[in-house]
Amino acid sequence: MIILGIDPGTAIVGYAVLRTTAQGTPELLASGAIRPRTLEKEGRLVEIRKQVVSLIDIHRPDTFALEKIFFSKNIKTALSVAEARGVLLLTAKERSIKVSEYTPSEVKLAVTGYGKADKQQVKAMVKAILKLRDAPALDDVADAMAVAITAFHLKSF
């Protein structure tokens, strides 16, 4: 089983590709950040879609794991993230990839055992679960890894 975990955004989209090993553990195949180069909103969304399609073509995921939008005090940010999520959901649908969605507290609970864990706790557990040498530098990448781990643990695909 291959899971593409995504932390949606418009400035940075974190992604992580996990595979289930023969031993039944998660293995990180790839991770990184999509950083659209254009300032134009529509151009950012097009670039996000192109890069996600490329990830799909390379890794052939069985499922997308997406973080749900957390109610934000900044409505403008929430709306732009919602637009990016729409592009991601459409891309998954076009490629017939099942989508699993999780709230930030569900992700924190699945990864750390505590639904109100902070970013550093999440990064530390991502590092331990995936047996990484170092914790991910970018929060967006760590969040994408955590979302993919959540899908792995909950087997909601």
Catalytic residue among 7, 40, 57, 106: 7
Catalytic residue, candidates 62, 139, 140, 143: 140
Structure tokens at 35: 């950083």
> How far apart are the C-alpha atoms of 144 and 12, rounded to whole Å?
11
CA distances from 150 to 85, 102, 113, 118 (A): 18, 8, 11, 16
67 is catalytic: yes
Is 83 a known active-site residue?
Answer: no
Cβ atoms of residues 114 and 121 within 8 Å: yes
Q: Which of 27, 42, 67, 139 is catalytic?
A: 67
Q: Residues with catalytic annotation?
A: 7, 67, 140
